[in-house]
Structures are given as C-alpha cells and as structure tokens.
Amino acid sequence: MTNTFTQYAFDTFHIDGLDSRMHAIRERIQPIFRDIGQEITPDLTVAIEEDMHVHIAQHARRKVNPPQDTWMAFSPDKRGYKKHPHFQVGLFDDHLFIWLAYIYELPNKQQYASQLLKHTDLLTTLPEDFVISYDHMKKDAVPVHETDIHSGLERFHDVKKAEFLVGRHISAQQVSELTREELLDVIRNTYSHLVPLYKTIK
C-alpha cells in the first residue's frame, strides 16, 4: 500500500457502482487519510492551541449514487465537523483539495460571514495559487485574486445553502509526483496560511 496519492487513488472515482467505489475508497484512499491525520493533527493542535480531531467521510447516507469525491476533516469536536469551521483534505477524480471550510450546516453562518467580511485582508493577502469555492460539492474554484470576495461572502451570508471554502487545488498529475513528505509539506504550508484566518473568525 502506497502512502501517498497516485493516479490509482484518483481513478477510484471512475469505478461504477456505490459498493465497488466505496470499497476502493476504503482500500486506496482512507489508509492515506489516516496517515495524514496522524501527521497533521498534532501540528494543527499546536498552531490553533486547541485539540483537533480527525474525521474521515464515510458517505453513510448514500444508498444508490457513488460519491464523486471523498475527504477527511480536522475539527475541534470529537463528534463531528460539519457544524464547525474545519480543515479538509480530499480528492475528486482530477485534483486534490486542501480547504478551510465553512459549509452550509454551520450554525450562526451569518455571524461567520459578517466576521469574514470584516477581515477580507486575510484573504486578499493569501498566496497567488489559493482558490475559493462557494459549494463543496462542485469541482469549480476561483483564484482568490480573481474573484469578488465581497459579493461571494454576502451570498454566503444571505443564502442558506451557500458555503465558503478557501485553500488550494492541486492537479492529480502533480499530486501523483509528490512523495509522502512532499505531500505533507504542501498540506502543512497551506494550513499555515489558513490558521490565522481560522483563529480570527470566531
């Protein structure tokens, strides 16, 4: 079993059928998530000064359609992550995503949106390769420096299902060429830029 994501992992999402794809996710991807969790959780715990816990998506609600992506999350809550701002690492068939995520299930979503609107400087000063998404279920993301952050955050504030995710996308080809340590370094570096935002927006 490899300890980094190769094309074999990304090809999981071309497997037909819920059971077959879930089996491949458990065999090809989740062991790497567990390894990443062991390495990154202590780093986030120190950086955030709060115990962080790993959650690996199980896709338990799916009965027919296989997942188009899968992920792991880091959250201060042992019981779950969706109702908290959280960090993600996950895969679609063509890229890896590394996010700080504020998703639609977040209570007090409007409060977080208002705080984000007050601190857009923490977004506009992110590295050039950072991207923003307003829907975690879609592949699309826009470079931070090419999007109207203010309008996006207002929509996040006003629209119940709107979300806000910021971080990096890395192509499957690029990820496949990384060693385990190089992958971990990319995740650590991405989170190092996002932790100040996480700590400020409470």
Residue 2 pLDDT:
67
Distance CA 110, CA 114 (A): 6
Which domains are assigned to the chain? 7-200 (3.30.930.20)
pLDDT digits (tens, 9 = 90+) for 179-198: 999 999 999 999 999 999 99
pLDDT digits (tens, 9 = 90+) for 109-157: 999 999 999 999 999 999 999 999 998 888 989 999 998 999 999 999 9
pLDDT digits (tens, 9 = 90+) for 5-43: 999 999 999 999 999 999 999 999 999 999 999 999 999
Say what the pTM is.
0.95
Measured distance between the N- and C-terminal CA atoms of the chain, rounded to whole angstroms = 40
Q: Which pLDDT band, with edges at 50, 70 and 90, does 60 fall under? A: confident
pLDDT at 64 over 90: no
Amino acid sitting at position 82: K
Residue 88 pLDDT:
98
CB atoms within 10 A of CB 189: 12
Residue 202 pLDDT:
77
Specify the pairing of strand 142-143 against strand 164-171. Answer: unpaired
Secondary structure element (H or E) that encloses residue 154, with its range: helix 149-158
The pair of three-digit structure tokens given for residue 116, joined into one six-digit string = 């984000």
Question: In the β-sheet with 95-102, what is the strand arrangement from edge to edge?
Answer: 53-56, 70-75, 86-91, 95-102, 164-171, 131-133, 142-143
The pair of three-digit structure tokens given for residue 120, joined into one six-digit string = 């857009």
Distance CA 93, CA 100 (A): 20
Residue 162 pLDDT:
93
The pLDDT of 172-184, averaged and rounded, is 97
